[in-house]
Structure formats: C-alpha cells, structure tokens
Structure 1
Amino acid sequence: MLLTIVIVVLAALIMLRVPVSFAIFAAGVLGLAMMGGLDLVLPVMQTAPATAVRSTALTAIPLFMLMAQFMLLSGLLDSLFDAARGLVGRIPGGTGIASIGAGTAFAAVSGSSTAAAATLAQTSTARMIREGYRPDVAGGLVASVGTLAAMIPPSIILVFYAITAEAPVGDVLVAGFFPGVLIAAAMAATMYLGMVRDRASVPMGAPTTLGEKARHLGQASPLLIIFVAVVGSIFLGIATPTEAAALGAAAALVLVIARRRFTLTAVGVCLVETVKSTAMILAIIMAAHVLGHFLTETRAAPRLVGAIEASALPALLVMALIAAFYVVLGFFMDQIAIIALTVPVVLPVVEGLGYDPVWFGIFMVLLAEVGMVTPPMGINVFVVAKSARLAPMTVFRGAFPYVVAMLAMAAVLLAWPQLVLWVPNLI
C-alpha cells in the first residue's frame, strides 16, 4: 500500500510537469517519512546525495557533454553530410541515405540525441525537401536518425545507465556500437521499402565527381580521428572512459580552433550548456539514490523477482512485458528519468532471468529511444519540426515506419543477445 501511494505521487508530480529530479526526490522523502519518520529521513539525507555523486565514473558525463558541445560548435556535421552525399548521392534516395550516414557518424561524437536531431534538421531536412522528398519522409527520417546518438558510443545515456546499474562503463559503451550500426541499416532499408511503395516520396540521387568526393571526405576526416581516439582507446584498454572523454573534449576543441570557430563567447556558451546539463543529471542521480533507499526498505525488487519466479512464466514472455513497459514509459518520460526510476527495480528481474546487464542496457535504451519519436513526448520530433518549420504531426507520421524498424531490431536483439555482447567480449 505504501509503495503504491509513493508511485501515484511520483506519477502525479511528473504529469504536473514538476522537474524530474524534484519529483523523484519528493517521492523518496515522502516514502521514507511515512515508513520511519524523521529518524529514517535525516540519516538518508545526510549521506545519500553526497555518496551518489562521489563516483569517479561520473566525471565522464560532463566531459562527453563538453565534447559534444565543441563538436556542434565546429560545424563538422555539414562536412559529414556532404561526404556521405558524395559517396551515395547518385543512387535513388541518396540524400536520405546520406542523412542516415551523417547522423550515424555524428552520433559517434555527439552523445546527445536531441542535439544530433537539431543539428541534422538544420542541415539535412531542408535540403531533402528542396530535392523533392516529401516533408513527412524528410522530417521523420531525421528525427529517427537523431536517436542513434543515445546508442552509438560515446553515449551519455549509456554512461548514465552503466553507473546506475553498476556495470562496467567501457563495456556498456562499446556494446552500443554494433547494434547502432544495425539500427542505422534497418532505417535505410525502411526508407527503401517506402520508396518502392511510393516513388514520389523519395527522388533519384545526384552524382558527384571524384574530386568532389575526395574533397568532402578530407573535410570530414577529423571525425574518424576523434572517434578512434575516444572509442578506440576504451576498446583497447589504453584509457578509462573518463580519460577517453577528456581526450575527446581536447580533440574537439582543437577541431574548433582549426576550423576557425573559436571565440570566447562561443566557448563560454558551450561551457554553460555543459554545466546546465551536468547539473540536471547529477540532481536526478542524487534524487534517485534517495528513492532507492526507500525501495530498498520496502524490498520491492526482491519481492518482484520472487513473484516472477513463482509465476513460472517463460523468460521471453517476461522480457516482452518489460519491453512493452519501457515503450509506454518512453511516451511520457525522458531516458535519464526512465533509467533512474526503473533500473534499480527491473535489473534484478532481468538478471534473475539469465540476461546480462550490459545487454539489457542496450536493449532498454533502444526501447526508450522509441519514445523520442512518438507522441506525446516525442522530443526529437518537436525539435525537428521547429528547426525545419514543419507541423509536428507531419514529422510524427513520417517517423512511424522507423519506429516499427526500431521495435523490430529490439526483437532481434532479444532473440540474439550475442549481437550486443560480442564486441565487449573481445575486450
């Protein structure tokens, strides 16, 4: 009964648009107070928030965010799009494929889905519409491709999951690479299926000369250097995720200077945005630890594991129900909040069913990505709609086929977990 009251209060606060960190904190304090009064609340408040943010692994988050801000400032995405378009521009739907390729590459150095979608919208959507793509096809594609930044390393969301789940940060980060590439390929296949059904939705491509291809690839080559420096150093064990994040941030700053985008004002904006985003995440972590103490006192996770074991339901059916739960949560909440609220309870269930926590992080993030392009939350859709001056429902309609593709890939990862785990197993 007490747990039900706390969950209802938490849901009500979130629906009232109370900031997620405050909603989680209030629910946790309420639960502790109802369970043991101030004698239980005060000791938790004295230790939990400070302990929550004391982990050295957390330093990777602001560094990856700073790297993403510098990459946005460098304007590299324009070069990535031109390079991708030069390689595949002559095939039917070449500009759409180029958008997927540029978005996938940019995801490897941005770490933020919303930032990737906003930047892609400014560079790709308008050009696709000018070339004859239907507005819903162009907007839906870009909004969906932006979600890859949550999957492909270095992903801030995956770092946050690893810290919350107490899983190896490096393993979780590199585990997202191959599934991210598979999802990008599924999106390209989805676009082609749409083109086969409706030729008018996707126009023919435009060829480029060999010299233009070489020039554009040269301009985009710094991306490969930064990606190898960051992800390669983690994969090879040369650097910890925090060290790799620092290396990536420094390399991105050098790129800003080399591309003559460096100004004190612009760098100041990057630093402010990094601090704001970091403060938001740390506040959620501290609040989640307070709520976690309450959940520990109620023994919610062990009781849930016991109930599922007693039900004798097949593991695949339980995982399908968990998947549906995450898809529905994604309709209303952002990924950071979903991870903070559910992982402490759901992960023991998943491990009890025999699944690896590294695999579950990739699986869960993929399902949460669906919420970024579906109503009513659909933050990527609203970002693209605003940047490209399209109606949100137009973008939602165009994103639907890619939602189906992402859910199909989730089913593939559930059936073959080794698609996720084979890269971490190489380390």
Structure 2
Amino acid sequence: MIATIIVLSMFLLLAMGMPVGFSLIAAGALGIFWIGGPAALLGILSSMPKDNAASYEFLAIPMFLLMAEFVLRSGIADDLFQAAAAWFGRVRGGLGIATALAGAGFGAICGSSTAAAATLSSTSLPAMLKYGYDMRMASGVVAISGTLSMLIPPSIAMVIYALLADVSVAKMLIAGVIPGIIVTFTIALTVWYLAIRNPEHAPLTEPVTLGQKFASLRPILPMILLMGAVTGVIYTGVATPTEASAVGAFFAGVLYISRQGFRWREMAQVFSRATRTACMLAIIILGAHIFTTFFALTQTTQVIIDWVGALPVNRWVVLVVLVIVILLLGFFLDQMAILVLTVPILAPLLTSLDFDLVWFGVIMIVTAEIGLVHPPLGLNCFVVAKYAKVPSGEVFWGVLPHCIAHLIAIAIMVAFPALSLWLPSQM
C-alpha cells in the first residue's frame, strides 16, 4: 500500500512538470521517512549524494559529454556526411544511406541523440532536399539516425544503465558495437527499400571520381582514429572506460582547437554545457538510488520477483511483455526517465529469471530508441521538424517505416543474444 502511494505521488510530480531526478528524490525521501522516520532519511541523504558523485565509473559521463561538446563544435559532422555521400551518392537512396552512416559515425563520438539529430538536420537534411528527396523520407532518416548515439559507444545511456543495473560499464559499452552496426544497416536497408519502391523520392546525385572519394576521407581521418582509439582501449583492457573517456575528451579538444582555433568564450561554453548536463544526470542517478532504497525497505522488488516467478508462463513470455511495456512507456516518458524508473526494478527480476543484464541492456536501449521517434513524445522528430520548418506530423510519417524495421531488428537481437554478448565475452 505504501509503495503504491509513493509511486503514484512520483508520477503526480512528473505530471506537474517536476524534473525526473527531483521527482524521484522527493517521492523516495517521503517513502523512507514514512517507513523509517527522520533518522533513516537523514542517514541516507547524508551519505548517498557523496557516494554517487564520488563513483569512479560516473566520471566517464562528464568526460564523454565533454568529448561530445568538442566534436559538436568542431564542425566535423558536415565532413562525415560529405564523405559518406561521396561514396554512396550514386546508390539509390544514397544520401539517406549516407545520413545513416554519418549518424553512426557521429554517434561513436557524441552520446546525445538529440544533439546528433540537430546536427544531422543542419547538414544532411538540406543536402537531401536540394537533390529533390521527398520531405518525409529525408526527415524520417535524419530523425532515426540520430538515435544511434544511444547505442554506439560511447553512449551516455549505456553508462547510466550499467550504473543502475550494477554491471560492467566496459562490457556494456562494447556490447553496443555489433547491435549498433545491425541497427545502422537496418536504417540503410529501409532507406534503400523505400527508394527502390519510389525512385522519384530519392534521385541520384552527380558522379564522384575515385580520387574525390578518397580525398573526402582525409578530413574525417582524425575522428575515425579517435573513435577507434576510445573503443579499442576499452575492448583490449588497456584503459578503463573512465580513463578512455578522459583521453578521448583531451584529443577531441585537440581536434576542435586544430579546426576552429582557441577561443576562450567558446571553450568556457563547452565546459559549462558539459558540466550542467553531467550535474543533471548525477541528480537523476541519485534520485534513482534513493527510490530504489525505498523499494528495498518495503521489499517491493522481492514481492514483484516472487509474483512473476509464480506465474505459469515461460520466462521468454515475461521478457517479451517487458519489451512491450518499455515500448509503451516511450509514448509518455523520455528515455532517461524510462531507464531510471525501470532498471532498478527490472534488474533483480531479470537476474532471477536467469537473463543476462548486459544483453537486456542492449535490448532496452534499442527499444527506447523507438520512443525518440514515435508520437506523442518523439523528441528527435520535433527537433528535425524545427530545423526543417515542417509540421512534426510529416516527420512522424517519414519515420514510421524505420520504427517497423527497428522492431524486426529488436526481434533478431532477442532471438540471438550472442550478437550482443560475443564481443564482451572476448574482452
């Protein structure tokens, strides 16, 4: 009864517009006070904020955010798209495929989906419209390509999932590599199919010589090396994710200065934005831990585990239901809220059902990607609509085929766990 009241109060705070982190803190603190009194509440609040902020693994988040800010301001996203367009422009739907590849490359440096969607909207979207691409097709592929930043390392969502589920951050990041390739291929294949079906929606571009194609790779070579180095040192064990994030942030800063020069004002903005975002995420994680502590005190998680364990259904049926629930939550909550609200409850449940938490993390992130592009909350679609100056409904229609293709990709990854677990097992 207490747990129900506290959960409802938390959702009420969210409905009133309170940020996710503060809603979790307020509701969780109220529940702890209700059960244990002021002594229990003060004991938790006096130690938990410091313990969360001092976590060694958490340091990877501000460093990855700093790396993303440097790359965003370096202007390399335009070079990424130009290189991909040079190589695939003569393929039917080539500029859309180039957008997917640019989104994957950008996602390998920038862990923010909305930032990736905004950047692709200002680079690849004008180019596609210039060559006569259908607005729905062009805006749809831009919106869905931005979501790759959630999956391809270094992904902030992956790091937060690992911290909440208490699994290895390194294994979680590496687990996203092969699924990231699969999802990128899924987007590209969907664009190609749509272009073959309606050739007038995706005209071919001018021919590009082989020399021009290789020349287009030169500006993006430093970013490719940075991307490979960050993921490579984590995979080989040469550095922890925290160490790799710090090195990546440093060299991203060098890349930014070499391309844009050193500007005190802009450097201050870079550090300020990264710090503010990191603080916001720290509050969200703190709120999740306080709320989880309340659940532990009420034995709510154990009650849920016992109830599900007693159900006369196969564990795979439970998994499919959980994936559908996460998909439905995307209609009303953003992806970070879904993670912090569900992972602390689902992690013990899935462990009791003998599912691998790293594998489920990948499934959860890919499922949450769809929430970024389907109504009514599809944030990436609103970002693209703003940049393209078109009704958001046009973008939602354009992204619909990609949502269907994503569901097929999720089914494949559920059916074949090795796609997510093979690389981490080789570390």
TM-score range for the pair, normalised by the shorter chain length: over 0.9
User: 1-side partners of 2:252 and 2:413: how far apart?
Assistant: 33
Gapped regions of structure 2 (runs ≥ 5): none
Q: Which residue identity lines up with residue 144 of structure 2 in the other structure? A: S
1:49/1:287 contact within 8 Å kept: no
In structure 2, the residue corresponding to 1:91 is in which secondary structure? coil
Deviation string 1:321-367 (CA, Å, 9 cap, x unpaired) is: 10011111122222222222211111111122221111111111111
The number of aligned residues is 427
Aligned to 1:310: 310
- Which deviates more from structure 2 when the two are superposed, residues 219-228 or residues 146-155? 219-228
1:118 maps to amino acid:
A
In the TM superposition, 1:82-93 aligns within 5 A as 82-93=82-93
Q: What percentage of aligned pairs have identical amino acids?
A: 39
Match of residue 8 from structure 2: 8
Q: Alpha-carbon deviation of 1:211?
A: 2.3
Aligned partner of 1:337 in structure 2 is: 337
- Number of the residue aligned with 1:418: 418
Aligned to 2:379: 379
Amino acid at match of 2:288: A
Matched, 1:397 2:376: no
Asked if residue 225 in structure 1 is aligned to residue 225 in structure 2, the reply is yes
Task: Specify the code of the residue in structure 2 equivalent to 1:343.
Answer: V
Further displaced range: 45-54 or 222-231: 45-54
Q: Is the CA contact 1:144–1:373 (under 8 Å) kept in the aligned structure 2?
A: yes
Counterpart AA for 1:326: I
Once the two structures are superposed, residues 26-55 of structure 1 have per-residue CA deviations (whole angstroms, 9 ceiling, x without a partner) of 110121222233233222222222222221
Distance 2:250 2:352 in 1: 42
CA distance in structure 1 between the partners assigned to 2:206 and 2:421 by the alignment? 39
CA distance in 1: counterparts of 2:46 and 2:61, whole angstroms? 25
Q: Is 1:18 aligned to residue 18 of structure 2?
A: yes
- Cα pair 2:92 2:199 within 8 Å, conserved: no
Counterpart in the other structure of 1:202 = 202
* TM-score, with structure 2 as normaliser: 0.98
Q: Report the counterpart of residue 270 of structure 2 in structure 1.
A: 270
**1:175 and 2:175 are equivalent in the alignment:** yes
Equivalent residue number for residue 39 of structure 2 = 39
* Deviation readout 1:44-80 (Å, 9 max, x if unpaired): 2222222222211100000000000000111111111
Measured after TM superposition, the shift of residue 391 of structure 1 is 1.3
Give distance in 1, aligned partners of 2:52 and 2:240: 20
Q: Tell me, in whole angstroms, the C-alpha distance in 1 between the residues paired with 2:261 and 2:323.
A: 43
Q: Which runs of 5+ in 1 are unaligned?
A: none
Alignment partners' CA distance in 1, 2:251 and 2:331: 36
Once residues 141 and 97 of structure 1 are traced to their aligned partners in structure 2, the CA distance between those partners, rounded to angstroms, is 8
AA aligned to 1:130 is K
DSSP-derived class of the 1:280 partner? helix
Alignment of 1:15-414 (within 5 A): 15-414=15-414
Deviation at 1:21, TM superposition (A): 1.0
| Runs of 4+ with deviation above 4 angstroms | none
Partners of 1:49 and 1:295 in 2: how far apart?
18
Post-superposition shift, 1:261? Answer: 4.2
TM-score, with length taken from structure 1: 0.98
